[in-house]
Amino acid sequence: MTPDPSPDAPRPSPAEALAAFEAPARAALARAGALGIVAALLWPVQAYAVAASVHLWAVGTWNPVPGLWLVALFVTAGAARALLEARAGGIAHRAAEALMAAERERLIAAEAARVDRGTNSAAFAALLTQKLPLMVPYLVRYRPAFLRATVVPLTLVALTLPVSWAVALVLLVAIPLIPLFQALVGIAARDASAKQMDEIADLNGLLSERLSALPDLHLLDAGGRALSGFAVRAEALRRRTMAVLRVAFLSSTVLEFFSALGVALVAVYVGFNMLDWIGFGDWGQALTLAQGIFVLMLAPEVFQPLREVSAAWHDKATAEAVARDLAEVHADPGPRALGAGARAAPLPGPATLRVSGASVLRGAEKVPLPDMALSPGQAVALTGSSGTGKSSALLAIAGLVPVAAGRIEVAGRVLDDATADAWRARLAWVPQRVHVPDATLAEALDPRGTGADPAEALAAARAGAVVAGLPEGLATRLGENGAGVSGGEARRLMLARALLARPDVVLADEPTADLDAATAAAVRAALRRLAEGGALVIVATHDPVLVREMDRIVPMPGAARAA
Amino acid sequence: MRPLADTLRLVMAAAPGAMLLGTLLSVLVLVMGAALLGLSGWFITATGMAAMAGAVFDVFTPSSGIRFLAVGRAGARYGERLATHDATLRALAALRVDLMRRQLARGFEAMARARAPLALTRITADVDALDGVALRLALPVVAALVTHAFAFVALGWLTTWATAGAVVVFYVAGGGFVLLWLARRAARPSVAGERAAQALRRGAVDMLRGQEDLLVYGRLAEARAALVAQGDEADAAARAVDAAERRAGAWLAFAVTLAAGAALALGGWAVSAGGIGAAEAAIGVFVALALSETLQPLRRGMAELGRMRDAAGRVLAREEDGAETRAAVPDRPGAARLSVEGLGFRRPGALRAVVEGLSFDVRAGETLALTAPSGGGKSTVLGMIAGVLDPTSGTVRLDGRDIVAFDGDLRARVTLVPQRAALVGGSIRENLHLADPGAEEADLWRALEAVALAARVRALGGLDGTLGEGGSGLSGGEARRLVLARGLLRRPRVLLLDEPTEGLDEATAERVLKGLRAALPEAAIVTASHRVAETRSADRVLALGAADGGAGPG
Confidence of residue B553 (pLDDT cuts 50, 70, 90): very low
Q: Is residue B481, in this structure, part of any structural domain at all?
A: yes
Residue B351: pLDDT band with limits 50, 70, 90: low
Angstroms from A12 CA to nearest CA on chain B: 27
Q: Using an 8 Å CB-CB cutoff, list chain B residues near A204.
A: 124, 127-128
| Subunit contact B205:A271, Cβ cutoff 8 A | no
pLDDT along chain A (563 residues), means of 10: 46 84 92 94 96 92 90 97 95 94 92 73 82 90 90 94 91 78 62 60 74 82 82 82 80 77 84 85 86 91 84 82 87 85 90 92 84 93 84 91 92 92 92 77 86 87 77 71 64 88 92 80 90 93 91 79 38
Residues B30 and B175 in one domain: yes
Sign of the torsion angle spanned by Cα atoms A181, A187, A192, A198: positive
Domain co-membership, A358 together with A325: no
A286 plus A359 within the same structural domain: no
Q: What is the C-alpha radius of gyration for chain B, rounded to an integer number of angstroms?
A: 34
Question: B512 and B433 in one domain?
Answer: yes
Name residues whose C-beta falls within 8 Å of residue B500's C-beta, 6 or more positions apart in sequence: B417, B480, B484, B512, B513, B516, B527, B529, B534
B388 and B260 inside one domain:
no
Query: What is the pLDDT at residue A333?
Result: 78
Residue A238 has a pLDDT of 83
Q: Return the closest-CA partner of residue B170 out of A45, A75, A55, A77.
A: A75
In-domain check, residue A562: no
Cβ burial, residue A376 (10 Å; 0-12/13-18/19+): middle
Q: Residue B257 above 90 pLDDT?
A: yes
Q: For residue A67, which residues of chain B lie inside 8 Å, CB to CB? A: 265, 268
pLDDT one-digit tens code per residue, B497-528: 998 888 788 888 999 999 999 999 989 999 99
Yes or no, beta carbons of B235 and A63 under 8 Å apart: no
Residues of A in contact with B483 (CB under 8 A): 216
Last residue of a domain, one of A275, A296, A331: A331
- d(CA A150, CA A175) in angstroms, rounded, equals 11
Per the CB < 8 Å rule, is A86 touching B250? yes
Q: Which of B52, B124, B265 sits opposite A68 (nearest CB)?
A: B265
**Whether B74 and A203 lie within 8 Å, measured CB to CB:** no
Q: What is the CATH number of the domain that holds B184?
A: 1.20.1560.10
Q: Give the model's pLDDT for residue B381.
A: 92
Q: Which of B190-199, B291-300, B316-325 has the lowest mean pLDDT?
A: B316-325
Cα–Cα distance for residue pair A494/A461, rounded to 1 Å = 9
Find all residues with CB under 8 Å of B265, minimum gap 6, and list them: A67, A68, A71
User: Are residues A176 and A103 part of one domain?
Assistant: yes
Question: Which residue type, as a one-letter code, is found at position B497?
Answer: L
Minimum CA–CA partner of B488 in chain A: A220
B554 lies in some domain:
no
What is the distance between the alpha carbons of residues B56 and B108, in angstroms, rounded to a whole number?
A: 82
Asked whether residue B305 falls in the same domain as residue B374, the answer is no
Distance CA A506, CA A495 (A): 10
Q: Note whether residue B553 is domain-resident.
A: no
Mind telling me how many Å the CA of B444 is from chain A's nearest CA?
A: 15
Is the same domain home to A323 and A264?
yes
Total domains, chain A: 2
Task: For residue A338, tell me if it sits in a domain.
Answer: no
Same domain membership, residue B170 and residue B88: yes
Contact (CB, 8 A) for B398 and B496: no
Is the pTM higher than 0.95? The answer reads no
- Asked if residue B500 belongs to a domain, the reply is yes
Please report how many Cα atoms fall inside a 13 Å half-sphere around the Cα of residue B443, on the Cβ side: 16
Measure CB to CB from residue A257 to each of B74, B111, B243 and give the nearest one: B74
What is the CATH classification number for the domain harbouring A546?
Answer: 3.40.50.300
Please choose, from the candidates B172, B387, B335, B325, the residue with its C-alpha nearest in 3D space to the C-alpha of residue B259.
B172
The answer to whether position A339 is within a domain reads: no
Chain A nearest-CA residue for B503:
A513
With CB atoms and an 8 Å threshold, state whether A220 touches B435. Answer: yes
Write down the pLDDT at residue A188: 57
Distance from CA of A260 to the nearest CA of B (A): 5
What angle (nearest 5°) sits at the alpha carbon of residue A28, between those of residues A24 and A29? 95
Residue A128 belongs to domain with CATH number? 1.20.1560.10
What pLDDT score was predicted for residue A481? 44
**Residues B311, B346 share a domain:** no
- For residue B195, pLDDT over 60 is answered with yes
| Residue B377: CATH number of its domain | 3.40.50.300
Instruction: Supply the DSSP symbol for A114.
Output: B
**Among the listed residues A292, A392, A401, A281, the one whose alpha carbon sits nearest the alpha carbon of residue A337:** A401
Q: Indicate if the pLDDT at residue B177 is higher than 90.
A: yes
Q: Does A405 share its domain with A318?
A: no
Q: Could you tell me if A359 and A408 lie in one domain? A: yes
Lowest mean pLDDT among A475-489, B68-82, B113-127, B393-407: A475-489
Q: Quick one: pLDDT at residue A117?
A: 59
* Assigned domain for B449 exists: yes
Residues B243 and B343 placed together within one structural domain of the fold: no
Which ipTM score applies to this complex? 0.83
How far B153 CA lies from chain A's nearest CA (Å)?
Answer: 23
- Of B284, B315, B346, the last residue of a domain is B315
The answer to whether position B321 is within a domain reads no
Same domain as B413, residue B277: no
**Closest chain B residue to the Cα of A509, Cα to Cα:** B503
Verify that A282 and A391 share a domain, yes or no.
no
Residue B14 near residue B93, CB atoms below 8 Å: yes
Mode of pairing for the β-strands spanning A536-540 and A379-383 = parallel
Domain that holds residue A37: 14-331
Same domain, A277 and A325: yes
Give the domain range for residue B79.
Answer: 2-315
Q: What percent of chain B has pLDDT over 90?
A: 41
Residue B398 lies in a domain: yes
Domain boundary among B300, B315, B330: B315
Select the residue from B182, B207, B211, B307 to test the A interface by mutation, using most A Cβ atoms within 10 A. Answer: B211
Considering only CB atoms, which chain B residues are within 8 Å of A230? 93, 96-97, 100
Whether A195 is covered by a domain: the verdict is yes
Residues B266 and B399 in one domain: no
- Is A343 within a domain? no
Segment B113-118 mean pLDDT:
68
Q: Are residues A251 and A284 in the same domain?
A: yes
Rounded to 5 degrees, what angle do the CA atoms B427, B433, B437 make? Answer: 140
Q: Give the residue from B480, B475, B482 showing the smallest Cα distance to B444.
A: B482
Chains A and B: how many Cβ contacts under 8 Å? 466
What span, in angstroms and rounded, lies between the C-alpha atoms of A462 and A495? 9
Q: Measure B138 CA to nearest chain A CA, in Å.
A: 21
Task: Give the per-residue pLDDT at A68.
Answer: 94
Rounded Cα distance between B287 and B30, Å, is: 11
- Number of domains present in the structure of chain B: 2
Contact B204 A344 (CB under 8 A): no
Rounded to whole angstroms, how far apart are CA atoms A18 and A110? Answer: 19
Inter-chain CB proximity A486 and B379 less than 8 Å:
yes
Q: Residue B78 is nearest to which of A129, A218, A253, comparing CB atoms? A: A253
B276 and B195 inside one domain: yes
Q: Is residue B264 within 8 Å of A50, Cβ to Cβ?
A: yes
Q: Which residues of B touch A270 (CB under 8 A)?
A: 44, 47
Q: Which residues of A touch B470 (CB under 8 A)?
A: 209, 212
Is residue A257 domain-shared with residue A403, that is, in the same domain? no
> Per the domain annotation, does B294 fall within a domain?
yes
Distances (CA, A) of A247 to A186, A241, A242, A244, B84: 9, 10, 9, 6, 15
Q: Which of B73, B113, B374, B489 to mutate against chain A (most A CBs within 10 Å)?
A: B374
Which chain A residues touch B292 with a CB distance below 8 Å?
A: none
Do residue A519 and residue B373 have CB atoms under 8 angstroms apart? yes
Summarize pLDDT for B430-478 with one digit per residue, the tens.
Answer: 888 888 888 899 999 999 999 999 988 888 888 888 877 667 778 778 8
Report whether pLDDT(B272) > 80.
Answer: yes
Could you tell me the pLDDT band of residue B402, with boundaries at 50, 70 and 90?
A: confident
Residues counted in chain A: 563
What pLDDT, on a 0 to 100 scale, did the predictor assign at position A7? 46
Name the domain boundary from B315, B349, B375.
B315
Would the pLDDT of B247 be above 90?
A: yes
Whether residue A54 sits in one domain with residue A175: yes
Nearest to B304 by CA among B378, B367, B237: B237
pLDDT at residue A451, as a whole number: 85
Pairing of strands B367-371, B540-543: parallel
B343 shares a domain with B305: no
Would you call A146 helix, strand, or coil by DSSP? helix
Q: What is the mean pLDDT of residues B254-267?
A: 96
